[in-house]
Amino acid sequence: MDRLLVLVRHGQSEWNLKNLFTGWRDPGLTEQGVAEAHRAAAQLKAAGLSFDVAFTSALSRAQRTLDIILDDMGLTGLPVIRDQALNERDYGDLTGLNKDDARAKWGEEQVHLWRRSYDIAPPGGESLKDTVARTLPYYVSEILPRVLRGERVLVAAHGNSLRSIVMVLERLGPDGIVKRELATGVPIVYRLAADSTVAERLDLAA
Ligand SMILES: O=C(O)[C@@H](CO)OP(=O)(O)O
């Protein structure tokens, strides 16, 4: 039995390129983002992988990344489950602001705390802990059972929603997970053991 789980962060978005806090806003992929999605598909194919079901968020940058990957892999008919539980962390009042402008206004340290502390939420938004509180139950109830049944599962989502899942898979604590950066469009491949722990992790080259 395979128990394959692949996580991929969407390709570069228009707002990643403009260095804006994005959260639940819905910009599209840049040309580079599209290219990253094609490259992810090529890497997955080269690794000999295929899928039975895919999950994504309610945001178009993740959905488009998934569509490109499935198209390129010849998997267009694959069942796709979209859920806002997998959305990016809500950046609240920071949404749409330039990250450098925010540093100039509130200081490097405060902005770093909002972006990369575990439990300090940006004003009006979600901390990583808050994001974990909605993403992890979804992983446990909807995604994991399929993996354990032997379905090969692909998840295309966001930096912070995927961090929530990586935290559990890689047994990282609050300090470890905030240091784990996920590159856009680079698949992380896990094979799970029957007890849902990671038996093997394979990083496809960036
Ligand atoms: O702006 C965002 O929504 C996220 C991901 O791009 O940013 P950060 O890496 O600062 O959490």
Sequential pLDDT tens for the chain (206 residues): 589 999 999 999 999 999 999 999 999 999 999 999 999 999 999 999 999 999 999 999 999 999 999 999 999 999 999 999 999 999 999 999 999 999 999 999 999 999 999 999 999 999 999 999 999 999 999 999 999 999 999 999 999 999 999 999 999 999 999 899 999 999 999 999 999 999 999 988 76
Distance in Å, CA 95 to ligand 1 centroid:
9
Question: Is 63 assigned a ligand-binding role in the annotation?
Answer: no
Q: CA torsion 59→65→68→70, rounded to 10°?
A: -90
Q: Which pLDDT does position 64 carry in this prediction?
A: 98
Q: Under 8 Å CB-to-CB from 103, ≥6 apart: which residues?
A: 111
User: What pLDDT does residue 192 have?
Assistant: 98
96 among annotated binding-site residues:
no
- Rounded to the nearest 10 degrees, what angle do helices 159-169 and 128-138 cross at? 70
The model carries a pTM of 0.97
Atom of ligand 1 nearest to the CA of 116: 11
Atom of ligand 1 nearest to the CA of 13: 6
Quick one: pLDDT at residue 2?
83
The string of DSSP codes covering 132-175 is HHHHHHHIIIIIHHHHHTT--EEEEE-HHHHHHHHHHHTT--HH
Who contacts 127 (Cβ-Cβ below 8 Å, separation ≥6)? 89, 117, 118, 119, 120, 121
CATH code at 92? Answer: 3.40.50.1240
List ligand 1's pocket residues with C-beta within 6 A. 16, 21-23, 88, 91, 115, 159-160
In the chain, the number of structural domains is 1
**Cβ pair 73, 50 in contact under 8 A:** yes
Show the domain range for 82.
Answer: 4-203
Task: Give the per-residue pLDDT at 206.
Answer: 62
Is ipTM > 0.90 here? yes
Does 91 count as an annotated binding residue? yes
pLDDT at res. 205: 73
Question: Which residues touch 16 (CB under 8 Å, ≥6 apart)?
Answer: 22, 30, 33, 184
Q: How far is the CA of 27 from the centre of ligand 1 (A)?
A: 13
In this structure, what is the dihedral angle of CA atoms 4, 180, 95, 104, given to the nearest 10 degrees? -160
Q: Where are the beta strands (DSSP E) in 19-178?
A: 53-56, 80-82, 153-157
